[in-house]
Chain A
């Protein structure tokens, strides 16, 4: 699964990319290679530079310096050719509610210069793939959220691009629709489409992506497979204890002093990092707590998650308001 290939099969090569908005550096000297036929995840807190990076790849923004090569073509010089290779789906569902599903797809297809039979075939295929054949002539405004999302996905893929970029594809979807969207992304990838996605659901990245890059303050802070990134956090496992808040402090003290463990506290949850597969440690911890006559709700052993990686690398998971205002999105809006 992990492809440690050489540079030659990179579908996207980003070289020393810099983008500034006035004095604010949104993307700070990013170099990144994305392998052909893989699912690539770009993670980062709000305002980290995800959207700016993607806008640069799409050619909506021009870089301050640096270059992006997509499938062998420079994305500024051969902008129109590059655009035909990329499909893009944003967090918002962009379908025209006043147009029918068919009309939505037709306009999208025509904008990618599909004509005649090829266009009709692409539309037919798209409707089939989105399970919307019965609703082809119904206005998209009357669709449910999931239907619109499916229509939007096939609309973004109408020109059969080699690369699909998804900006938070499952934000705001319910669990069923999210699982279905994952399946669709997997299916597309199996057919050879390179997928790049940003997400705020870390388990989504963990599940879907072959490679993950974490970006913060415009810089790539980590890059690798999910398991490689997890190793960076801890070679071992995590013991997770859940207890009443009034005893949490007592437990932490116990773990730190007596058992010499690295401990992380979050409300009622205590996480202790231990060596890999150290099942004995669980009973040691349980014994220690039992001897002190402290009651706890649960104790468990698990592997580190992407959440652990993310928080370790980017500090807190939530950025304050000021940071948010400096975000790339806000800057793009001001530019308008």
Chain B
């Protein structure tokens, strides 16, 4: 029988063992996403003290009283600056969540243009969901008897949206939660392979199971293949669990079902790559404890460098090259394109897939060489 038959036999064994330990495996794979997505994903989601910066170009009594009305609200923490550019600066630096520009014509509309401009950014750790409606309703009630223009404009979302400045990282409907979930998926997949496939190589060696495979009339490569495939299957299961947790917490995939297919493909590539890394480590290490530490040393930096928690572009410049070399970066970017942008640009596909294939090639060649030597 060929390599395929033997690999299938060994894979059956791996999956029976995986199934037998399903509860432990799932709990292990669920803990990380739950903690990170629910706690970090909802950071600054408080509806109190949302920072808002007002630029008052109108300087008339109506404007002052409008600002006073905003200030009296407990939800908003209002501060005033004199120029629009400095306010936008603060926004882009994350020092404020919303910028409100009161134009000179306030409260009157000029040539059909609104007299209040709102700028906000979703990529700051802010929940502006509560702030915008509050500003709208304050403006509405304050201007109730004065001008209907603002009211009309505010009811017409298209007009308001056109004044919304979104830091153009990912799409207009982006939120940090979705951003984070994208990073967690890649990480869960990596951990799934590293702790699913690799540890079992060492456990099998310690128990002598590997030896019983060596004495069987099978190609030794089938042992690695079965471990790798098992690791990939486990990764995809863990990834789907993590995605489910993300959905529960309100994350979405902008690209829909096709997006899910892309995500699974990217996760498979990450998992195969890490299966290689795993085999390399496992062929050099004899103890599960040492392996666990080494695996963390490899996986954690790759995870953080990939920009799982925050855009990799905000890393210090001397770390940036490492981020570029990190294959996880490309998987994370790909998943984010799919989840946040709503489409996967062809250029991004090429870059991401190429980077991951290089990663896989390195891993497979290294593991094939090391595993061969190991038995000699």
Contact = CB atoms under 8 A, between A and B. Distances in A.
Interface residues of B, number: 29
Interface stretch (B15-23, B47-55, B58-66): B15-23
A98 B17 contact: yes
Contact of A99 (B1, B13, B217, B374): B13
A261 interface: no
Contacts of A59: 215
B212 A94 contact: yes
Given A60-B215, A96-B209, A110-B9, A336 B374 contact: yes
A86 B13 CA distance: 22
24 contacts: A58-B214, A60-B211, A60-B215, A79-B217, A83-B217, A88-B215, A94-B208, A94-B211, A96-B16, A96-B209, A98-B16, A98-B17, A98-B21, A99-B16, A99-B17, A103-B16, A107-B10, A108-B216, A110-B5, A111-B6, A111-B9, A112-B217, A113-B5, A139-B20
Contacts of B213: 111
Interface string B1-39: 100011001101100110011000000000000000000
A107 B208 contact: no
A113 B13 contact: no
B375 interface: yes
A333 interface: yes
B1 A113 contact: yes
Contacts of B374: 335-336
A84 interface: yes
Given A60-B375, A80-B217, A111-B213, A90 B17 contact: no
B283 interface: yes
A86 B215 CA distance: 8
B17 A96 contact: yes
A112 B218 CA distance: 8
B12 A92 contact: no
A96 B213 CA distance: 12
B208 A90 contact: yes
A103 to B, nearest CB: 6
Contacts of B214: 58, 60
A92 B13 contact: no
- Of A88, A96, A112, the most chain B CB neighbours within 10 A belong to A96
A336 B284 CA distance: 6
B18 to A, nearest CB: 9
B367 to A, nearest CB: 14
B137 interface: no
Nearest to B9: A110
Interface in B267-283: 283
Interface in B188-214: 205, 207-209, 211-214
Nearest to A115: B1
Contacts of B5: 110, 113
A223 interface: no
Nearest to B19: A98
Interface in A49-78: 58-62
A62 to B, nearest CB: 6
A336 B286 contact: yes
Contacts of A333: 286
Nearest to B17: A98
Nearest to B283: A336
Given A92-B208, A111-B9, A98 B215 contact: no
Contacts of A103: 13, 16
Top 5 nearest A-B pairs by Cβ distance?
A98-B20, A111-B216, A80-B217, A83-B217, A110-B9
A42 B215 CA distance: 20
Interface string B279-297: 0000110100000000000
A112 B20 contact: no
Nearest to B12: A107
Interface in A106-157: 107-108, 110-113, 139
Contacts of A60: 211, 214-215, 375
Given A60-B375, A90-B208, A113-B1, A96 B13 contact: yes
A113 B21 contact: no
B376 A62 contact: yes
A85 to B, nearest CB: 10
A96 B17 CA distance: 8
Contacts of A86: 215
A90 B211 contact: yes
A328 to B, nearest CB: 14
